[in-house]
């Protein structure tokens, strides 16, 4: 039937893909590969087809090697670059080709990151940024292929590249070459030198089993050696001095992946993506279901709600995607966001060198992200109660914040002042934080509710004050109320000095009501294609948040929740707000509706924490929200938390199953498994009494079987089959169950779907130490990054 349909519609890619899907289980991989190759040859400008082809090649265990798949990525980008340039006359560029080019480039970088080749990832971004921002004028009008040829001598010259100390840029190097080269040798700093200093101390304990020593050294080198190695000419080094050739990245490794990105938003996104690869914690990207192949660590499920900051926990971000230098076994503790000294210097250089490349708006955002990157380290130190590092990191970030705020374009940047004040609060300097907040509000109070940044700053300040009350009665004597009232009165800001006048409260309520009504009217009256064009993404969120908190303090929860409910009802009729299915090429912020939904849920959760309140309200609100936003990790985490208090397993199971059937996101499966495992932990705990164990006499309750069935459904789904995190969770669960043979079966099935994921191999070494040599042979065969070969380990052990 499909063959007849294709004969009648020979140009239909969908029908041809359906045919390939049908024969996936029947044909040999080699025959299937030939059919895929024919298809991309006939449709070289179809970016979605290329992405499916890349995933097919990436997930074929029998034919997979890193070099093969990486070369296919290079061929894809080269072909699409020619299409984008207009050099392929027979196949014109389709809409969004440039967006797809960047998406495929980032997919390649994640493939290499997960395979352990972090040096290549860093080099690819360095090359792309040099190629985009520092292109000599003499080559700008040439086709991409010829521009890449001119780029090769610069890459091979040893000149410092973007992010390295002393980097001047490709154009400056080329200009100087035309004048005879640099007269004074460039003072390069060996970025990786400090990472080698403690290599001699890698063997913590030689009495450990060999597999454990190997794991420890391998993961240690992952952390320390993620930057590319370059010879330091001032020290007389050459390429021969590199003990591990894989740490050097040659032009042949990066040349085929060079593409031309010209749209300003995509150029900025590329730089932000580079920072995300190094640990910048943003959740704005990869919210599409198509990016489940990037999920590889438990932060996707295990973090996002802070008990000590129930209202402001949405300030921290966890997306389940690892960064360079952070491949570890499933059961080991995830390393902190901060890198070793040499890595932190590199990240510092990237921020510093990127700032002059952008206009004012993007420059301000970069400064903001820099502070957020540093602030997230503070949050991690607080969670781990690491006082020594907290003090040291606190001094560094305060100095950075003050330096950024001294810049002329940042002096009135309320978003930066907000981050600085929040930082002081996190460090425990509440009085100093209040001074910063008060100074910032005084500076901008005349702008009132029209200023999104001012609303956002006042909202955070008020939320922190409410959290600091720790459940005490809040009302007219509340400092939070003073902040929210002064935001609306139009007069000069004065610091808090006691009770807020009832007249001021009534006046503020009227102002808030008018502002909210006006904003909702504007956003609902705009047409679908430009529904949010006049609004910043966080504009409505901050305004509604301020009014809702104001009502909560002055009237109570019911009045506060009505504000959220009304706003969400209006937004539910704006098509652009219901962004459940997102294009795989787009990088977008969550909609106002999604952010308001999360804020509403956190308000209800906070009220539950400090007073008696029925769980039903929050639970029903979360059910409605998750039907609209099935990919939101934090909403799922809240839902699991609430359902665990109900102890009604059948109801939550029905809901999980229903949402999973109607979405392409893998998130419902992740949290369904997480919820069942929490339930099993609780039952196992109850069945243990003192030192004796009574559960051996209790019949199997079926939870283990249900969890296994959930895993099977997940890994058989379209986006779950190639999700490394899902397979890692499944493997961990099977090992805990104690059946080694079935666990090994899951491991080899995982390799059939995700052969590029180095973390899976590391997990297997920890779970199945008897098969240590076999797994190492697989790592070598598939060309994953091996940082300590067994021969080197034997020499170290002999020494």
CB-based contact 257:80 (threshold 8 Å): no
C-beta separation of 554 from 546 below 8 A: no
Note whether 285 and 265 are within 8 A (CB): no
User: What is the reported pLDDT for 715?
Assistant: 95
In this prediction the pTM is 0.92
Q: Is 128 exposed, middle or buried (0-12, 13-18, 19+ CB in 10 A)?
A: buried
Half-sphere CA count of 619, side-chain side, radius 13 A: 16
- The rounded distance, in Å, linking the Cα atoms of 360 and 381 is 32
428 token code pair: 């425990």
Q: Which of 199, 240, 192, 118 is nearest to 795 (CA)?
A: 199
pLDDT at 318: 65
At residue 428's C-alpha, the angle toward residues 422 and 433, to 5°, is: 40
DSSP assignment of 497-540 equals -SPPPHHHHHHHHHHHHHHHHHHHHHHHHS-GGGTTTTS-TTHH
> Which helix or strand (DSSP H or E) is residue 688 part of?
strand 688-689
Question: Cβ contacts of residue 603 below 8 Å, gap of 6+?
Answer: 311, 548, 549, 552, 557, 560, 561, 564
Cα-Cα-Cα-Cα dihedral sign, residues 514, 517, 523, 524: negative
- Intervals of the chain under pLDDT 70: 2, 7, 181-200, 283-290, 303-307, 314-318, 333-338, 471-477, 526-538, 578-589, 688-701
pLDDT at 190: 46
Q: Output the pLDDT for position 537.
A: 42
Mind giving me the DSSP string for 710-755?
A: HHHHHHTSTTTTT-HHHHHHHHHHHHHHT-HHHHHHHHHHHHHH-T
Q: Which residues contact 30 (CB under 8 A, 6 or more apart)?
A: 63
Q: From CA 730, how far away is CA 723, in angstroms rounded?
A: 11
**Coil, strand or helix at 117:** coil
Contact 57, 49 (CB under 8 A): no
Q: How far apart are CA 269 and CA 688, in angstroms?
A: 52
| pLDDT digit string, tens, across residues 580-602 | 445 555 556 678 899 999 999 99
DSSP alpha helices (H): ranges in 2-133?
2-8, 13-22, 29-42, 47-58, 66-85, 97-114, 118-133
Cβ–Cβ < 8 Å for 122, 227:
yes
Q: Distance between CA 498 and CA 105 in Å, rounded?
A: 57
Query: Looking at domain 675-798, which of 1.25.40, 2.30.29, 1.10.8, 1.10.3210 is its CATH number?
Result: 1.25.40
Question: CA–CA distance from 529 to each of 98, 581, 586 (Å)?
Answer: 21, 16, 15
Long-range CB contacts (within 8 A, 24+) of 240-249: 244/787, 246/117, 246/119, 246/785, 246/787, 247/119, 247/192, 248/119, 249/119, 249/120, 249/122, 249/123
How far from 434 is each of 268, 310, 402, CA to CA, in Å?
A: 33, 20, 16
The DSSP string of 121-158 is HHHHHHHHHHHHHS--GGGTTS-HHHHHHHHHHHHHTT
541: left (phi over 0), alpha (psi -120 to 50) or beta: alpha
Pinpoint the residues of the chain covered by CATH 1.25.40: 675-798
Question: What is the rounded CA–CA span in Å between residue 492 and residue 439?
Answer: 12
Q: What is the pLDDT of residue 528?
A: 46
Phi, psi of 670 (to 5 degrees): -55, -45
Go through 351-379 and write b for each residue having 16 or more CB atoms within 10 A of its CB, e for each that does not: bebbbebbeeebbbebbbbbbbbbbbbbb
Q: How big is the chain, counted in residues?
A: 799
Burial of 395 (0-12, 13-18, 19+ CB in 10 A): exposed
Rg (CA), the chain: 28
Q: How far apart are CA 21 and CA 23, in angstroms?
A: 6
Q: Find, among 202, 205, 206, the residue nearest to 218 by Cα.
A: 202
* pLDDT of the residue at 408: 86
Q: What are phi and psi of 440, to 5 degrees?
A: -65, -45
């Amino acid at each position: 039937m499909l063959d007849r349909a294709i004969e009648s519609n020979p140009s239909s890619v969908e029908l041809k893909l359906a045919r390939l899907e049908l024969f996936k289980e029947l044909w040999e991989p080699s025959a299937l590969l030939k059919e895929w190759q024919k298809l991309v040859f006939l449709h070289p400008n179809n970016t979605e087809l290329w992405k499916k082809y890349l995933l097919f090649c990436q997930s074929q265990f029998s034919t997979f090697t890193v070099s093969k798949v990486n070369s296919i990525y290079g061929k894809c980008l080269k072909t699409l670059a020619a299409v984008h340039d207009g050099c392929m006359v027979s196949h014109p560029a389709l809409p969004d080709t440039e967006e797809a080019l960047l998406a495929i480039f980032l997919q390649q970088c994640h493939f290499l990151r997960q395979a352990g080749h972090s040096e290549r990832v860093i080099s690819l971004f360095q090359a792309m940024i040099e190629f985009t921002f520092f292109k000599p004028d003499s080559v700008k009008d040439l086709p991409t292929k010829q521009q890449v040829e001119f780029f090769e001598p610069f890459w091979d010259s040893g000149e410092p590249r973007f992010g390295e100390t002393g980097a001047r840029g490709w154009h400056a190097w080329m200009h100087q070459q035309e004048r005879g080269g640099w007269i004074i040798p460039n003072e390069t700093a060996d970025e990786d030198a400090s990472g080698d200093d403690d290599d001699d101390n890698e063997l913590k304990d030689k009495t450990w089993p060999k597999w454990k020593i190997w794991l420890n050294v391998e993961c240690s080198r992952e952390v320390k050696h993620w930057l590319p190695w370059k010879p330091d000419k001032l020290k007389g080094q050459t390429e021969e001095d590199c003990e591990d050739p894989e740490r050097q990245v040659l032009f042949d490794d990066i040349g085929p992946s060079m593409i031309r990105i010209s749209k300003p938003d995509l150029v900025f996104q590329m730089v932000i993506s580079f920072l995300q690869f190094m640990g910048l914690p943003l959740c704005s990207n990869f919210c599409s279901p198509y990016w489940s192949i990037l999920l590889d660590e438990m932060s996707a499920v295990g973090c996002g709600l802070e008990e000590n900051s129930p209202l402001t926990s949405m300030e921290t971000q966890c997306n389940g995607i690892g960064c360079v230098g952070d491949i570890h076994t499933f059961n080991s503790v995830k390393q902190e966001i901060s890198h070793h000294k040499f890595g932190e210097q590199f990240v510092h250089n990237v921020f510093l060198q990127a700032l002059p490349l952008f206009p004012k708006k993007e420059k301000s955002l970069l400064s903001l992200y820099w502070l957020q990157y540093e602030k997230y380290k503070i949050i991690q130190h607080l969670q781990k109660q690491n006082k020594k590092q907290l003090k040291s990191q606190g001094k560094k970030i305060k100095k950075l914040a003050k330096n950024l705020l001294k810049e002329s374009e940042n002096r009135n940047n309320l978003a930066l002042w907000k981050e600085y004040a929040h930082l002081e609060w996190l460090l425990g300097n509440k009085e100093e934080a209040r001074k910063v907040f008060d100074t910032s509000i005084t500076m901008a109070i005349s702008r009132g509710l029209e200023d999104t940044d001012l609303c956002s700053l006042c909202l955070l300040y008020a939320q922190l004050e409410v959290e600091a009350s720790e459940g005490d009665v809040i009302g007219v004597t509340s400092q939070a109320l003073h902040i929210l009232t002064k935001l609306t009165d139009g007069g000069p800001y004065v610091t808090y000095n006691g009770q807020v006048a009832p007249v001021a409260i009534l006046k503020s309520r009227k102002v808030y009501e008018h502002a909210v009504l006006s904003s909702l009217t504007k956003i609902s009256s705009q047409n679908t294609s430009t529904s949010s064009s006049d609004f910043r993404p966080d504009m409505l969120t901050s305004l509604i948040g301020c009014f809702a908190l104001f009502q909560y303090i002055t009237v109570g929860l019911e009045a506060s929740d009505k504000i959220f409910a009304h706003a969400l009802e209006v937004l539910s009729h704006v098509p652009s707000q219901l962004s459940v299915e997102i294009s795989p090429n787009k990088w977008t912020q969550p909609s106002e509706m999604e952010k308001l939904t999360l804020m509403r849920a956190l308000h209800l959760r906070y009220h539950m924490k400090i007073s008696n309140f029925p769980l039903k309200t929050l639970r029903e609100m979360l059910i409605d929200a998750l039907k609209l936003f099935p990919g939101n990790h934090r909403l799922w985490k809240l839902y699991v938390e609430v359902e665990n208090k109900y102890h009604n397993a059948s109801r939550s199971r029905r809901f999980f199953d229903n949402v999973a059937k109607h979405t392409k996101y893998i998130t419902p499966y992740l949290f369904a498994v997480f919820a069942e495992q929490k339930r099993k932990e609780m039952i196992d705990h109850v069945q243990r009494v003192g030192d004796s164990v009574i559960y051996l006499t209790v019949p199997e309750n079926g939870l283990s079987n249900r969890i296994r069935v959930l895993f099977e459904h997940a890994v058989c789904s379209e986006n779950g089959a190639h999700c490394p995190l899902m397979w890692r969770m499944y493997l961990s669960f099977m090992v805990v169950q104690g059946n080694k043979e079935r666990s090994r079966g899951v491991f080899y099935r995982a390799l059939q779907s995700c052969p590029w994921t180095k973390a899976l191999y590391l997990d297997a070494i920890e779970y199945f130490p008897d098969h240590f040599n076999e797994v190492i042979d697989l790592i070598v065969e598939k060309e994953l990054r091996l940082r300590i070969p067994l021969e080197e380990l034997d020499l170290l052990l002999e020494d």
